[in-house]
Structure 1
Amino acid sequence: MASHHSLSQCRAVLAQSSLARPGQVRSAVVAVAGLPVSPCTSSSERPRSFSVLNRPPPNYPGHIPLTRVERLALTVGSGLASFFNPYRGDMIAAFGEVTATPYFIYRLRDAMLADRTGRRILRDRPRMTSSSLNLDRLRALPPNTVGREYVGWLDREGVSPDTRPDVHYIDDAECAYVMQRYRECHDFYHALTGLPIVREGEIALKAFEFANTLLPMTGLSTLSILTVKRRERERFFATYLPWALRNGLRAKEVINVYWEEQLERDVDDLRAELRIERPPDMRDIRKKERREKKRAQKVAEIKTDSPSVAV
């Protein structure tokens, strides 16, 4: 009897539906029939799609989500800027981030997960700064230790571990840390190999990093060898590129080195463990070239200034 009464009420409501809004009819029918009321989301309340004007919340502090168009534009712009001006650290950093996804940074993260030390690094997430490394303590370490070599390289090149920018454009928080770790370990790679921060040295180290990490930015950065002097380009292809490929491919994954725990270790022992041989000293080679160039210029000046002998 009750169900028959409810059915009659529903018919009455439906009879008036031409005068009511669809939402009102639905609410009335549900109320009369005694059905559970479920929330109804209007089109204005539905989540808006990801766009320039509607970005999702960041996944970690400093994260900047990008649309596909923005990512493509940043890839092209930062790539060109890095090629023509390799000292634009901000552009190199951005180019490294936007080209590392979707595959390469995950491959590097998986390499860390497959290694016992790499897993500890991901769990601890240490950061490298001048205060966390205590550079004064490193300067007091015995010669030929990793820490002494590292801080000596910093002092010689006039750089600081505090200059590495934070990651912004990698969406996954753990992968963002992997990129940050690679970035902050870069100076240790310099110290381990002895390569200076001049353009020629950076290109050689990037070739080594590409062979070891497979990050696209490191490989594409080697194209800037086309912008250096002819003698430097010849030396790169004859000496440093073969060294970089040979050592980068056979060495252990350098991203898995817990550098903070290796500071008091003999640097030669660490090189042997990682299977990395030190390349020819680029600074010495460049100094010798400058001396030879000056000597040749002086000889040319003497010949020019000497009076010609009449026959």
Structure 2
Amino acid sequence: MQIRFLTPGEVPLASDDVSLIESIRSELLDRPGVQEAHSAESADALVIHEPWAFREWRYIDRLLADPVIGPRPHKVYTINSDDAGTGLLRGAYCCIPARRFDPQLHAAVPFFLAPNETVLAHAGRPREAPTLLASWRGNPKSNRPLRSQLLEAYANCESIKVEWTDSWLDHSAEEKLHYVQLLRSAKFALCPAGWAPASFRIFESMALGIAPVIIADEFVAPAGPDWRSFSLQVKEADLWALEPILERHVDRHEEMGALAHQAWCKYFKPSGLVAYYANALMACIGANTGSTATSEVKRWRSHRTYSGNGWTLPQRALNRIRRAMHA
């Protein structure tokens, strides 16, 4: 297997932060049968770390205009952390919605970076018996309909504590500690969708030994753990019925929390994430059989891809109307 790892000097669409792709490069080149290709032409696979961005339909033209990617789109594999990955390129996605996910093309992966170091400092520590059934603290702006409903539904609830904040990945040390304390005070951690179905909170609760309650209809679970053993998936439409749903599982909250932490240690602990990402990429590469440049561009331009991303002309027109009404 000949792999070329694309740098921003070679492909301007690649992330300027090369630390992650360099780590994955070292991991893969240590594996039997994997070698570094010295050119795009000789490579079996081209791996790119895309920078975080909001990508719209014109991004296809940018990919095809790139002199490295354009002639060989069927060989390109991404590492992508966009809030709602488009699924255009094959590869590993932190936040790809279920409607865009194809297991033959994509792999769901956990977030590589942990923005709250206080979570890691408390991972695995014993905690006092939780007094709350569930808790949540977050910014409602990232999903105003769902998260605003959560705040409204449980504003005066004694067993479920919800808090909102205006901070966005710029939390003070005090806020980070309070967030951890709030999580640890509850039997379950509420994990509503934000900009994307996946959220840091899912993996943070696992690290702290708390069962996550995933309220995100389009969440795609990263492979490995037995998610049903330690997490609950609640439909967004059932948000108002959280109390009775959680009460049905409350007797298992300690067992579920312990299993959540075990799964995090086995699959998602920071020390093992490079290998996890590398495995995900190799699985995507191995599943690519019979694809050609023509068939890949056809997939990019397909109605399924456009409609799944909200890129069709009617969808774009409707979005403009919604933005105008909101303004």
Does TM, normalized by the shorter one, top 0.5? no
Q: TM-score, normalised to structure 2's length?
A: 0.25
Q: TM-score, normalised to structure 1's length?
A: 0.26
Greater C-alpha radius of gyration: 1
Q: Which structure shows the higher helix fraction? A: 1
Q: Which structure shows the higher strand fraction? A: 2
